[in-house]
Amino acid sequence: MLLLAACDTSLDVEPTDQLTDASVWKSASNAGLFLNDIYNNLNPGPQSTIWTNVPSEISNDPLDNFSDNSISGPLAGIPSYQNFAQGAYGPSAPIFTPHWKNMYTNIRKCNVFIQNVSAADFDDNVKKGMLAQARFLRAYFYKSLMDLYGGVPIITVPLNRETQGDAIFNPRNTYEECVAFIQKECAEAAEDLPLTIPPKDAGRASKGAAWALKGELELYAGKWTDAAATNRKIMESGAGYDLFPDYETLFLPANENNEEVIFDVQYAANIKGHIKEKYWNPVRVADGTGWGAVNPTQDLVDDYEFLDGKTEAEGSAMFDPENPYINRDKRFAASIIYDGSTWKGGVIYTRLGIPNNNNELDASGAGGKGRTGYFLKKLVDPAVVPGISSGSNSIIWRYAEVLLNFAEAQNEAVGPDDDVYKAMNKVRKRAGLPDLPTGLTQPQMRARIRRERRVELAFEGKRLFDIWRWRTAEQIFSKPLRAMKITTVDGHLVYEKVNAGGGKIAFDPSKNYLMPIPESVRAQNVKIDQNPHY
């Protein structure tokens, strides 16, 4: 019987627990599993050389640590502190080592999917939607490379060394060519993507996602008229986007996929989770210990307006030097843990002089304490015990950013017209701030937009690319970043702004507005030129 069974071809069945290259493209459902795998490779930012199993945006060294918004906490071997701040990086010692390889791996998956689904014989309408998603994802991966490196090779078909030989090696396309490519991809993908996404498909690309990617790209490229038009399209799409009423809880799991979210990376605790609550909580909290890995700077704190619409530097009448944290923009207390903050059922003190206080300021970072006198609150779930897997999603684009993108592009294209004011004031209203003063000049509005972006989008991975594209990093990094030292004198708290340890960032404007192409990449492909002065 065994011999007969071995010869009976009717018993040769395809395994049901795995997909072969031949079977994956036979049906839309099988191809959908391949597309799901591409989505599963999404991350919100480049990966560092440490903790490469989690995205940089939700690891112990998020992108804001590479800007003037925050510095890394009392940890050793952290790229933003040990490499970036000291200028100790280059082609042979890049910071985001695996990013190039990871993005091109994802791009190849998109190319394989697009080529095979295009030739498949299942329903054309299904194919259109799936191909549009893949083209959007491929554009996202390309922009992620461009943000760091500028122009990169545009590859739209799967490459095969065995059949193509050295023809697989491509030189870099110019930045302008890459911008034009993504503009076209996003515009065409949007035509076949749905306007809204049902709850069961949360996390999939919509028209709004494609337009948000296109609009951000155009903003970064300084294509002001295009960026204004694309972001306006989202605003007038009728998709139902709006600002979520409560900024503080906008980012928590209970409010995921709300009306403000345009596109996010989906996570689920214990399935595809992360432990950012361990990394980002203060050093000591009521239910455990954190790493205090993100220390907001005094420079960022100073940009949060008081409720009269002015900062301390602008002479706000609501600033109290003996109690500087009251009467602030609502986003301040929603984003930053400061001295005296109530957090996780306890009070966090960063002032000096309290015995056995692991959260107090130590600007040097020695002794495992914070460097700035502040810890991160935004994006941290107070209900999650530090070290337990969290499933909070990571938002890539939300409606507030669209409003700010539009305001900036429109101001640069035509000046501060009524539409710019409306977009800005809508964002400010949720923060409890008054409308902007009328009659601002274009440079004055530009300054207000840049400050609004900083506080609204703090710790969402946008600040580094903003100061790069504005070419302001050399000015910002010319001075040490600041911290808040609080002491008690005669029973009164005294607040003193001091330099933060590790807050001096070495920056060479002749080269550091782009990252170096890893030498390992150029060793594999000699046609790839290095970025200038590396």
Q: Can you read off the two tokens belonging to residue 125?
A: 């309408």
pLDDT at residue 354, rounded to an integer: 96
Sole residue written with tokens 């204004």: 228
- Name the band, by pLDDT with cuts 50, 70 and 90, for residue 8: very low
pLDDT per residue as tens digits for the range 32-61: 999 999 999 998 777 655 444 455 566 788
Asked whether the predicted pLDDT for residue 16 surpasses 60, the reply is no
Distances (CA, A) of 223 to 48, 321, 398, 452, 473: 30, 43, 21, 21, 21
374 CB-contact burial (10 Å; exposed 0-12 / middle 13-18 / buried 19+): buried
Sole residue written with tokens 């800007």: 67
**Quick one: average pLDDT of 342-346?**
96
* Collapsed DSSP state (helix, strand, coil) of residue 493: strand
The torsion of the CA quartet 461, 465, 470, 471, rounded to 10 degrees, works out to: 130
Q: Give percent of the chain with pLDDT exceeding 90.
A: 85
Residue spans of the domains in the chain: they are 195-266+393-460
**Angle at alpha carbon of residue 97, lines to 91 and 99, rounded to 5°:** 120
The string of DSSP codes covering 354-410 is: -TT-TTSB-TT-TTS-BSSS-EE-TT--TTSPTTS-B---EEEEEHHHHHHHHHHHH
Q: Kindly report the pTM of this predicted structure.
A: 0.94
pLDDT per residue as tens digits for the range 445-469: 999 999 999 999 999 999 999 999 9
Alpha-helix runs per DSSP H in 41-165:
99-119, 124-149, 161-164
pLDDT per residue as tens digits for the range 83-110: 999 999 999 999 988 899 999 999 999 9
The string of DSSP codes covering 300-350 is: HHTTSPBTTS--TTTT-TT--TTSTTSSB-HHHHHHEE-TTEEETTEEE--
Compute the mean pLDDT over every residue in the chain, rounded to the nearest whole number. 93
- Name the band, by pLDDT with cuts 50, 70 and 90, for residue 19: low
pLDDT at residue 238, rounded to an integer: 97
Asked whether the predicted pLDDT for residue 395 surpasses 80, the reply is yes
Range of weakest confidence among 47-51, 131-135, 233-237, 335-339 = 47-51
**DSSP E strand boundaries for 137-291:** 261-265, 284-285, 288-289
Asked whether the predicted pLDDT for residue 532 surpasses 50, the reply is yes
532 CB-contact burial (10 Å; exposed 0-12 / middle 13-18 / buried 19+): exposed
State the number of CA atoms in the 13 A half-sphere of 36 facing the CB. 9
**Quick one: average pLDDT of 300-306?**
98
**Quick one: average pLDDT of 122-139?**
97
Distance separating alpha carbons of residues 416 and 437, to the nearest angstrom:
11
Could you tell me how many residues make up the chain? 534
CB contact at 8 A, 297 and 69:
yes
Q: Give percent of the chain with pLDDT exceeding 70.
A: 93
Listed in sequence order, the residues at least 6 apart from 55 whose beta carbon sits closer than 8 Å to its beta carbon are 43, 44, 45, 47, 265, 274, 394
pLDDT at residue 216, rounded to an integer: 98
Q: With residue 211 as reference, give the H or E element that holds it.
A: helix 207-220
Class of domain 195-266+393-460: mainly alpha
Q: If you ran DSSP here, which 8-state letter would residue 207 be given? A: H
pLDDT per residue as tens digits for the range 322-335: 999 999 999 999 99
User: Phi then psi for 497, rounded to 5 degrees?
Assistant: -85, 125
